[in-house]
Structure 1
């Protein structure tokens, strides 16, 4: 009886391992198709961006009951009224920053941590701020568990950026703002780039690409988008 029990346990173990391997292979195939049909086919050519999105397991950054849709062509809810962006938007915004391996990046709106993980595969360091405490805690644990050690999460109001880590080579804002926060412009290096959705709440916004020159700020509207609002800490004075 003991021998049968051990054999049964061993059989179950190998079945589970085989199922896990098959599941990971299936996710890898879905990820490859996502990059090919949703990202490359729409004009994303930056190789570091494509490589990062091919290697970051998007299904690990969505709720378990949504993992079957992780590689679909659209945003997904992640709880607390927040979403994980459509893969194409992730790719587009990442490419727009023209990241290099030496760059220090600030992200406002960590969410599930997926965008931070993509950025961390390209840049030297990523500092990401999430105002929703539950999401910040979960994202921090997830990024650490998955080995994205150069993505550092802070819980708080992202309006004022992360001054002690500034200046940044690039800044990405993944929540819709009514105007570009001045502290973020101040923390952007000369020659740096920022991408941010700007416009009235509950309406279509413009994704704005900002380039900081020595003597001026250049702003370019690049596409209409919909994003969840840039949330502020109501317990503190707004600037």
Structure 2
């Protein structure tokens, strides 16, 4: 049996370099993450207000609301932008990338969970780790999270952001997200933080029967929309939802 990478794994997919696995910190996967109860941005009340706004905006899944309230978003953005962390806005995280709005992260997580009426998802693949915020949220919603990032600078930033949380069920990978991560397949869900012309075939192949892909995709009219793909035993069901704006999905590493 192939050993799955620990946290954080560094996977360089260039031909001359073999993947290297890190070592998971010795923390049980079932250990809960205890949210700080301090003052200011560390106050649970700040996150609670954000969750209240998400619920008022139509987010109904209690699992997602709890996950959003459990993660300190301000710890994933630059200190100069920390006072905007709980507003419903995307923020720059460097290298031309952004952290998605809380409402978008929550909406995509809710869509991913829609096929799982209760409990947690199994194994999930996140394409586009960014600063690591969405991976931290997914850690509360899935038994295992593989998150792949093509930009080394962001991969390293996410590793530093996530390290204090000691999330033993999160595995960080450095590589080409368009290729997915076959060694971790099949996945109960795949979620993308970047939008391409179409959902890559590799993702569909690595998705388990009964699983879902939630990804922004370019429409024929030039707009970008959220698309949900549900994989059945004999067919692939495609649902086009609301218009969104994500950074472009790119291949390769940098």
Same topology, TM > 0.5: yes
In which range does the TM-score fall when normalised by the shorter chain? 0.7 to 0.9
User: Measured at CA, do residues 112 and 213 of structure 1 come closer, stay the same or move farther in structure 2, by a change above 3 Å?
Assistant: same
Work out which of the residue numbers 80, 83, 101 in structure 1 matches 2:95: 80
2:209 is paired with a residue whose SS is strand
Does residue 166 in structure 1 map to residue 185 in structure 2? yes
Residues 188-229 of structure 1 deviation map (CA, whole Å, 9 limit, x = unaligned): 00000110000069x530100110000000010111000001
Q: Which one has the largest radius of gyration?
A: 1
1:33 paired to 2:49 = yes
Gaps of 5+ in 1: 1-19
Q: Is the Cα contact below 8 Å between 2:151 and 2:253 reproduced in 1?
A: no
Counterparts in 2 of 1:125-164, with a 5 A limit?
125-164=144-183
Q: 1:24 deviation in Å?
A: 4.7
The 2-side partners of 1:181 and 1:102 are apart by 22
Query: Highest relative contact order (Cα 8 Å, sep 6+), 1 or 2?
Result: 2
Give the number of aligned pairs: 213
Identify if the C-alpha distance between structure 1 residues 209 and 141 changes in structure 2 by more than 3 Å, giving closer, same or farther: same
> What's the RMSD between the two structures over aligned residues?
1.8
**Alpha-carbon distance in structure 1 between the residues aligned to 2:170 and 2:84:** 25
CA distance in 1, matches of 2:176, 2:88: 30
Q: For 1:198, what is the secondary structure of its paired residue?
A: strand
Q: Which residue of 1 aligns with 2:38?
A: 21
Give the alignment's TM-score, normalised by structure 1: 0.85
TM-score by length of 2: 0.80
Q: 2:213 aligns with which of 194, 215, 224?
A: 194
User: For residues 234 and 147 of structure 1, do their structure 2 counterparts lie closer, same or farther at Cα, with a shift above 3 Å needed?
Assistant: closer
Task: Determine the C-alpha separation between the residues in 1 that align with 2:124 and 2:253.
Answer: 26
Is residue 43 of structure 1 aligned with residue 58 of structure 2? Answer: yes
User: Using the alignment, how far apart are the partners of 2:235 and 2:249 within structure 1?
Assistant: 25
Contact 2:41 2:74 in 1 (8 A): no
After TM superposition, what 4+ stretches of structure 1 lie above 6 angstroms from structure 2?
A: none
Greater helix fraction, Structure 1 or Structure 2: 1
Q: CA deviation at 1:22?
A: 2.1
Deviation of 1:138 (Å) = 1.4
2:197 is the counterpart of 1:182: no
Question: Deviation per CA, 1:115-142, whole angstroms, max 9, x where unpaired?
Answer: 0000001111100000110100111222
